[in-house]
């Protein structure tokens, strides 16, 4: 494959859609392997999640030292994180630095949305169309479009009649928003809301939070990252990354409290409290890793859930508000949140919680939000209503595969992939952190690096073998989908209406999309590659 343009007269060898953490590393890795690449990104800047989500309080909830690339020793050593959990501006600065450091920008086309991609069976190439009306061809397409990039703005009656400003957390204005002295409604209580609410409460005159499902959240105990701790991790970064690749969730290597060693049932009740309290005091997502069986046994799960509920009652002054804030679903079933003062915010006299669990929001009116028959007058509305996760961004692209078959049609009963990487009927298309891979159930940087390296390795192998085409087989895909369902079925994940299941989007097929367990998955991918891409068909050989 040539340096200028791609094979078979294509514009480039590979078109990558998206310039977030995945697209940036994909470009770097493919370029290093000698492929020509063009990245097409809808946003006016790089960074993906960290470009779009600029709401107050936005930050990572995997420790910064682990929520970072591990592919380059010097980058790892040079970059200094300032906080245990980095803010959105800091993560965006990091990604801008990566783009400059590896000279990535010259192959990235910004402010351009890919609207369609059509496979040509004769030439085994893709033609990608953009919203600017351009057409570009490539042998391969990599969809690095993000699991959480398609914002969900629910179709609430009267939504567009509101006369004040409204914002979605995932599309926050870049110039910032001044809500000082304003009455503000927040719709939603997921991770974005949990981060934004304490900060918005500081700014606004009055904050009204509309809660459909109460949320479990654990304290971040965020703070400045002590230089000695950063130096200690940097001194053993190779080991840290290796430990994370062997962790079920792709992180945890910098945590003082290691992975769980005992099942809940094997620990005496008083000792369980102690173990959970230790995790609560440490802060962060590792709370869910106190015991081995929290996500597989309903009884065990209830122990952790009851602990958090008791904390809510301890923190929140008004017992009725504490009760409303106390979730009843399985803890971890919806993604656990990590906060800085979320529950305590409801002790403020200027913050009100409105329970909409039975009737939802009835309407948005020109002057506010109506729920439970009551009108709540506000000056601004914040939609913290999440994303059409895992498949939303892919569904917005008109993919036409073999025989012109639409991806939307192929996935009408839910996404079907082989390893979360390939789709039968869509040759030469790769997904980064696609449905059917650990993706959102892991530290996503760990998951992204594993996928990018697998895809790049695969393209190198195809080139070395003279193959121009690769396609997942329907049989391997059916088996894989069954495997993902079986693994999910061993856990408590499918037990509530989460976005993992697509349950947050009306009409979306209810299918558990991510695969729990990073290490066996990564081993399987390596195995597939080592065995000549078992489950894929390669060809034709020139």
Chain residues binding ligand NAP by CB under 6 A are 60-61, 148, 154, 156, 169, 187-193, 195, 212-213, 334-335, 338, 360-361, 384-387, 440, 499, 504
Alpha-carbon distance of 237 to 541, in angstroms, equals 41
Interaction with ligand FAD in 52-71: which residues (CB under 6 A)? 53, 58, 60-62, 67
Angle, helices 444-465 vs 237-245, to 10°: value is 90
149 touches which of ligand NAP, ligand FAD, none (CB within 5 to 8 A by kind)?
ligand FAD
Q: What are the distances in angstroms from CA 490 to CA 26, 29, 305, 418, 517?
A: 33, 36, 19, 20, 12
Residue among 43, 165, 414, 539 that touches ligand FAD (CB under 6 A) = 43
Give the H/E segment covering residue 524: helix 518-530
User: Which 8-state DSSP code applies to residue 268?
Assistant: -
Q: CB of 48: closest distance to ligand FAD in angstroms?
A: 2
Q: CB of 168: closest distance to ligand NAP in angstroms?
A: 9
Peptide bond into 128 cis (omega under 30): no
Size of site (CB under 6 A) for ligand FAD: 38
Which one, 17 or 156, has the nearer CB to ligand NAP? 156
Q: CB of 395: closest distance to ligand NAP in angstroms?
A: 17
66 touches which of ligand NAP, ligand FAD, none (CB within 5 to 8 A by kind)?
none
Q: Give the strand pairing for 536-541 and 467-472.
A: antiparallel
Which one, 104 or 393, has the nearer CB to ligand FAD? 393
Residue among 1, 21, 197, 407 that touches ligand FAD (CB under 6 A) = 21
Q: CB of 181: closest distance to ligand FAD in angstroms?
A: 26
> What is the CB-side half-sphere exposure of residue 126 using CA atoms within 13 A?
31
Q: What are the distances in angstroms from CA 365 to CA 165, 294, 371?
A: 13, 43, 11
Structure tokens at 391: 């498949």
Structure tokens at 253: 């290597």
What is the 3 state secondary structure string of 476-506? HHHHHHHHHHHHHHCCCHHHCCCHHHCCCCC
- Site mask, ligand FAD, residues 104-123, x = CB under 6 A? ---------xx---------
Residue among 49, 217, 385, 437 that touches ligand FAD (CB under 6 A) = 49
Residues 258-275 as b/e (b if ≥16 CB within 10 A, e otherwise) read eebeeebeebeeeebeeb
188 touches which of ligand NAP, ligand FAD, none (CB within 5 to 8 A by kind)?
ligand NAP
Tokens 């939307």 belong to which residue?
Answer: 408
68 touches which of ligand NAP, ligand FAD, none (CB within 5 to 8 A by kind)?
none
Interaction with ligand FAD in 392-411: which residues (CB under 6 A)? 393, 396-397
Alpha-carbon distance of 168 to 190, in angstroms, equals 13
154 touches which of ligand NAP, ligand FAD, none (CB within 5 to 8 A by kind)?
ligand NAP
Which one, 284 or 425, has the nearer CB to ligand NAP? 284
Alpha-carbon distance of 127 to 139, in angstroms, equals 9
Residue among 12, 16, 27, 42 that touches ligand FAD (CB under 6 A) = 42
Of 36-44, 153-161, 274-282, 482-490, the window that binds ligand FAD (rule: CB under 6 A) is 36-44
Q: Which residues bind ligand FAD (CB under 6 A)?
A: 17-23, 40-43, 48-49, 51, 53, 58, 60-62, 67, 113-114, 144-149, 170, 192, 393, 396-397, 432-433, 443-444, 448
């Amino acid at each position: 494959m040539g340096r200028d343009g791609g094979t078979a007269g294509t514009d480039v060898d590979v078109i990558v859609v998206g310039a977030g953490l995945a697209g940036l590393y994909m470009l770097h890795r493919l370029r290093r392997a000698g492929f020509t690449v063009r990245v097409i990104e809808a946003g006016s800047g790089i960074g993906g999640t960290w470009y779009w989500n600029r709401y107050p309080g936005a930050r990572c909830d995997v420790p910064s030292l682990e929520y970072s690339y591990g592919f380059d020793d010097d980058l790892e050593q040079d970059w200094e994180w300032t906080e245990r959990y980095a803010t959105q501006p800091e993560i965006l600065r990091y990604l801008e630095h990566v783009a400059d450091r590896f000279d990535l920008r010259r192959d990235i086309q910004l402010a351009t949305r890919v609207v369609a991609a059509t496979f040509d069976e004769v030439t085994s190439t893709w033609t990608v169309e953009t919203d600017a009306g351009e057409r570009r061809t490539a042998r391969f397409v990599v969809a690095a479009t993000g699991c959480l990039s398609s914002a969900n703005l629910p179709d609430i009656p009267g939504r567009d009649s509101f006369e004040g400003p409204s914002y979605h957390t995932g599309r926050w204005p870049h110039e910032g928003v001044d809500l000082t002295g304003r009455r503000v409604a927040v719709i939603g209580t997921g991770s974005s809301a949990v981060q934004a609410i304490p900060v918005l409460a500081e700014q606004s005159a009055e904050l009204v939070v509309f809660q459909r499902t109460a949320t479990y959240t654990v304290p971040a105990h965020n703070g400045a990252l002590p230089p000695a701790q950063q130096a200690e991790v940097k001194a053993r970064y190779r080991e840290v990354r290796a430990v994370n690749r062997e962790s079920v969730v792709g992180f945890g290597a910098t945590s003082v409290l290691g992975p769980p060693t005992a099942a809940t049932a094997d620990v005496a009740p008083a000792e369980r409290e102690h173990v959970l309290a230790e995790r609560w005091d440490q802060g962060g997502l590792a709370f869910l890793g106190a015991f081995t069986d929290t996500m597989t046994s309903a009884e065990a799960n209830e122990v952790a859930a009851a602990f958090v509920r008791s904390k809510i009652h301890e923190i929140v002054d008004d017992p009725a508000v504490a009760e409303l804030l106390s979730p009843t679903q399985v803890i971890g079933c919806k993604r656990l949140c990590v906060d800085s003062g979320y529950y305590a915010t409801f002790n403020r006299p200027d913050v009100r919680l409105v329970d909409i669990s039975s009737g939802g929001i009835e309407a948005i009116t020109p002057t506010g939000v109506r729920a439970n028959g009551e009108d709540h007058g506000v000056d601004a509305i914040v939609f913290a209503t999440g994303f059409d996760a895992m498949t939303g961004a892919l569904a917005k692209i008109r993919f036409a595969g073999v025989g012109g078959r639409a991806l939307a049609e192929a996935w009408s009963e839910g996404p079907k992939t082989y390893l979360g990487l390939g789709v039968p009927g869509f040759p030469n298309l790769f997904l980064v952190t696609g449905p059917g891979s650990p993706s959102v159930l892991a530290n996503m940087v760990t998951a992204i690096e594993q996928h990018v390296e697998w895809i790049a390795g695969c393209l190198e192998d195809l080139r070395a073998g003279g193959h121009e085409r690769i396609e997942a087989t329907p049989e391997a895909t059916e088996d894989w989908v069954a495997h993902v369902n079986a693994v999910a079925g061993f856990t408590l994940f499918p037990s509530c209406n989460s976005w993992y299941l697509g349950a947050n989007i009306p009409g979306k097929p209810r299918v558990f999309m991510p695969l729990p367990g990073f290490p066996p998955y990564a081993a399987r991918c390596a195995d597939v590659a080592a065995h000549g891409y078992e489950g894929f068909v390669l060809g034709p050989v020139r």
